[in-house]
Structure 1
Amino acid sequence: MISALVAARDGADRLSEEELTSMVMLLTVAGHETTVNLLGNGTAALLSHPDQLDRLRAEPELLPRAVEELLRYVTPIQATFPVVGTEDVEVEGVTIAAGEVILPAVLAANRDPAYVEDPDTLDITRSPKPHLGFGPGPHHCLGASLARLEARIGFAALLERYPDLSLAVDPSELTWQPNVIFQGLAGLPVRVGKPGSPQ
């Protein structure tokens, strides 16, 4: 991928060294951090909702829906990177002036009751609705398809390999990393039980 970025051309235009460095850093950090957080947050959510975990184990074909629901319910990002308003705009009675810095709250948007019915309930059978787990519009994550694939493979392997997996603490004792952009657990204490037989 890095070679493709270096070789990319648009006529005589190409990415500068600074742009390439920024892109590689973004791909490395965002691609790793968000996938780790999705797997950790999702595992914690499933272990905290045994009814959903049991349903997923009984109906593994629900895994693609479960991944989308986990992206909505425990999204790996809390907010997108700050943006600056280009013109005055009013949103829900609040004026945002041109030049003001805005931190779009993905976590809040994914739990908006005006958009998602019963948003604080994890439901892996929920008909998938568009969510902001990969960011909005032109800033939509380029690695979204890869992240979904990694999540499906990761959750499937984890559930198959560790059929007795459970939280080692009460869900209320889980702590989150202090970060404005990313949402990830500081740790995920689990009991693995007896490993199942890998296929």
Structure 2
Amino acid sequence: MAVIELADLGADFTENPYPHYAGLRQLGAVHEVRGGDGWRFWLVVGYDECRAAFGDARLVKSSPAQDEEDRIMGRHLLISDPPDHTRLRRLVSREFTPRRVAQLRPRVQQITDRLLDAMLPAGRGDLVDALSFPLPITVICELLGVPDGDRDAFRAWSNEIVTPTDAQLARDSVLAMRDYLDALIGRRRDAEPGDDLLSALLRTEAEGDDRLSAAEVRAMAFILLVAGHETTVNLITNGVRALLDHPDQLAALRADPGLLDGAVEEVLRYEGPVENATFRFTREPVVYDGTEIPAGEPVLIGLASADRDPARFAEPDTFDIRRTAEGGAGHLAFGHGIHFCLGAPLARLEAKVAIGTLLERAPDLALDRAAERPEWLPGLLIRGTRRLPLRW
């Protein structure tokens, strides 16, 4: 099978990759791909194969390729395998149970209302700057105890880490965030512990007096800060854009706000914020759909492709907020198996509150067609735009 050159897929691949993924699925469920930087990896694009790959113990998260990240930031959930992953997840998962997250709803609503109070009088503006970014970054920083004044720096570091524009700048951003977290953790450890998540991580214990080490606390704070806001920023933005691009679905949701849960699930399937899961590596040769991936190879699981696979979803390119109620559940936007997104309940809560409140308070919300065309984020990880100009 020929190597797929991403550069040959056309200039619109970043803006609209779905037709290209559809073409790849017709050729097979697994492809060897070469990115623009020349790096070769394997891309899984079929729904069944993606779901199988998530549960395949032969695909591991830790590898020599992750050694530098481990050395710089510490070992976190996204680069760990059992038994390390099992231990780390157990020690932190109690802070993200659905019950704990549900208790955050009043605060999420309060932050949303305050942001919309500031946003709506202008009559037009950028959704990302006004709501999609400040809501999740405020929530996760409050949870971790990060001071207000440091959040703009976090935004710059996080953006460069997740959607890098320059390799050296991305590395510098990781180092800057590491140094900041070390200082913040030191202050939390030396001062009276608070009721924030960082303090909870520092005192977390499990059976056998197990604790998170200092490096593990730093790594956990890092991944919660980055994953805890970058994905939700784009879930909210993609959701609003999808609804405005489909007036019939927007009208149905306005007529029946009870459809909001299903609308958020459909956004996750149709235009989820994570295009491909973070890299896994083959511990031994694996075969999917008749294609063998050799041992020691990097693998991307294609969430955006899997969730538009017609073998799993009827009319997959149709945005239908009633799909979940009609048996269309099962999207892979949050992954599957032991690495299923720890923050999924929080992301869902923030998206529902943000989108529902925005639609209620801005009944004539529309895309600002006169504004500059939004720029799509580069890379294969995050799916979204840097801005979303709106008017109301």
- When normalised by structure 2's length, the TM-score is 0.47
The residue that corresponds to 2:215 in the other structure is 18
The residue that corresponds to 1:57 in the other structure is 254
State which drifts further: 51-60 or 78-87: 78-87
Percent of aligned pairs sharing the same letter: 49
Deviation at 1:9, TM superposition (A): 2.3
**Partner AA of 1:177 in structure 2:** L
- Tell me the distance in 2 between the aligned counterparts of 1:63 and 1:40: 15
Are 1:4 and 2:200 an aligned pair? yes
Q: Secondary structure at the match of 1:103?
A: strand
- Tell me the distance in 2 between the aligned counterparts of 1:133 and 1:100: 23
Deviation at 1:158, TM superposition (A): 0.5
- Tell me the distance in 1 between the aligned counterparts of 2:228 and 2:252: 29
State which drifts further: 7-16 or 160-169: 7-16
Are 1:116 and 2:316 an aligned pair? no
1:117-176 alpha-carbon deviations (Å, 9 max, x no partner): 111110001124111111221111111111111111111111011110111129xx5431
The residue that corresponds to 1:196 in the other structure is none
* 1:122-161 superposed matches below 5 A: 122-127=319-324, 128-161=328-361
Deviation at 1:23, TM superposition (A): 0.9
**Partner AA of 1:139 in structure 2:** H
Deviation at 1:88, TM superposition (A): 1.2
The residue that corresponds to 2:113 in the other structure is none
* 1:52-131 superposed matches below 5 A: 52-127=249-324, 128-131=328-331
1:7-33 alpha-carbon deviations (Å, 9 max, x no partner): 222314322222111111111111111
Q: Secondary structure at the match of 1:102?
A: strand
1:68-103 alpha-carbon deviations (Å, 9 max, x no partner): 000111101011110111221111121112211101
- Tell me the distance in 2 between the aligned counterparts of 1:138 and 1:189: 38
Q: Secondary structure at the match of 1:25?
A: helix
1:7-62 alpha-carbon deviations (Å, 9 max, x no partner): 22231432222211111111111111111100001101100011100110001100
The residue that corresponds to 1:163 in the other structure is 363
The residue that corresponds to 2:244 in the other structure is 47
State which drifts further: 132-141 or 4-13: 4-13
- Tell me the distance in 2 between the aligned counterparts of 1:17 and 1:96: 37
- Tell me the distance in 2 between the aligned counterparts of 1:133 and 1:44: 17
- Tell me the distance in 1 between the aligned counterparts of 2:219 and 2:258: 38
- Tell me the distance in 1 between the aligned counterparts of 2:362 and 2:379: 30
Q: How many residues align?
A: 190
**Structure 1, unaligned runs of 5 or more:** 193-199
**Partner AA of 1:96 in structure 2:** I
- Tell me the distance in 2 between the aligned counterparts of 1:133 and 1:160: 26
State which drifts further: 152-161 or 2-11: 2-11
- Tell me the distance in 2 between the aligned counterparts of 1:89 and 1:100: 10
Aligned structure 1 segments of 4 or more residues deviating by more than 3 angstroms:
none
The residue that corresponds to 2:378 in the other structure is 178
**Structure 2, unaligned runs of 5 or more:** 1-196
